[in-house]
Structure 1
Amino acid sequence: MLDGKASGSGEMWTEPLGNMLLGIGFMSKQDNVSRYEYMRIEKRESGEIYFVAIPSGQQETEFRLTQHTEKRVVFENPAHDFPQRITYSQIAEGVMQAKAGSKKDDSYKGFELTLLRTDCQSPSR
């Protein structure tokens, strides 16, 4: 839990469950969750892989896996307003970089997060 002064962001993911990973992302400001997102990465019967996001009570949006290597995956949905592309890259052992953004005309709008792998902890009261 945050200490009342901290702000931050993060993601928590399950181990693979059959054809799916389940996740939740959050952004907090002064110990209040300002944004949250339910996420899943799923392999469909067709064999295609999708990242599916439901941010802060909005409609579900799907992003199809378009690129992948051992250390990087890219999901895209060019028809979506923002973001159109989500990228996860391993930049060091236990360190991931998540990027989300869209290109409109000649400009790019987006953000990136650095995610550090940690052990799960129970909230303290």
Structure 2
Amino acid sequence: MLLFLAPLLFDAQTPDLGWLVGHWCTEPKNGGVTCENWAPMQGGAMRGTGTSEKAGKVTANEAMTILISDSGVVFHAEPANQPPADFRAVKLDAAARSVTFEDATHDYPQRVRYWREGEALLAEISLADGSQARRWRFQRVK
């Protein structure tokens, strides 16, 4: 039912997701690092890429797009070697610099959430109830 209400959570203008724009990386841990790059919104689409590396080798990558349409805001993920998936925005709080996307029919993840804490960008994937959460804390790369 939330998916049908999602368009009601947004005004007619393009939502402000500018706080997501930039090149972001986690602190190196156990020889690995994860980075995301987000370009500014253009023509109703905001494009991003995500890459994880360990010991100089890519271990995971995905293409991501946030699409704005009359039916709402959609996070489209294309992880390598997996089928693409679409998650509809269920909560967008521009003042808190936070956005949450969900698709309860997807196996995992069912929820994708981005938010800012000061200068840091946080990302979390989980099941729709918040269980089995995995979280990343990114810092902007200058």
TM-score range for the pair, normalised by the shorter chain length: 0.7 to 0.9
CA distance in 2, matches of 1:103, 1:38: 22
* 1:92 to partner: Cα distance: 0.6
User: Does 79-88 or 51-60 show the bigger shift?
Assistant: 51-60
Structure 1 residue 112 corresponds to structure 2 residue 135: yes
Aligned length, in residue pairs = 111
Identity %: 25
The corresponding residue for 2:87 is 63
CA distance in 2, matches of 1:98, 1:28: 17
Structure 1 residue 51 corresponds to structure 2 residue 71: no
CA distance in 1, matches of 2:128, 2:65: 24
* 1:18 to partner: Cα distance: 1.2
The corresponding residue for 1:85 is 111
Structure 1 unmatched runs, 5+: 120-125
Q: Give the TM-score normalised by the residue count of structure 1.
A: 0.82
Deviations 1:58-114 (A, max 9, x none): 211000000011211000000001000011011013x1100001157xx82121111
The CA RMSD measured in Å over matched residues stands at: 1.7
The corresponding residue for 1:17 is 42
The corresponding residue for 1:39 is 64
| Higher percent of residues as helix | 2
Structure 2 unmatched runs, 5+: 1-29
Q: Secondary structure at the match of 1:108?
A: coil
Deviations 1:19-44 (A, max 9, x none): 00111101111110000011000012
The list of structure 1 runs, each at least 4 consecutive aligned residues, that deviate by more than 4 angstroms after superposition, is none
| Higher percent of residues as strand | 1
Contact 2:87-2:101 within 8 A present in 1 as well: yes
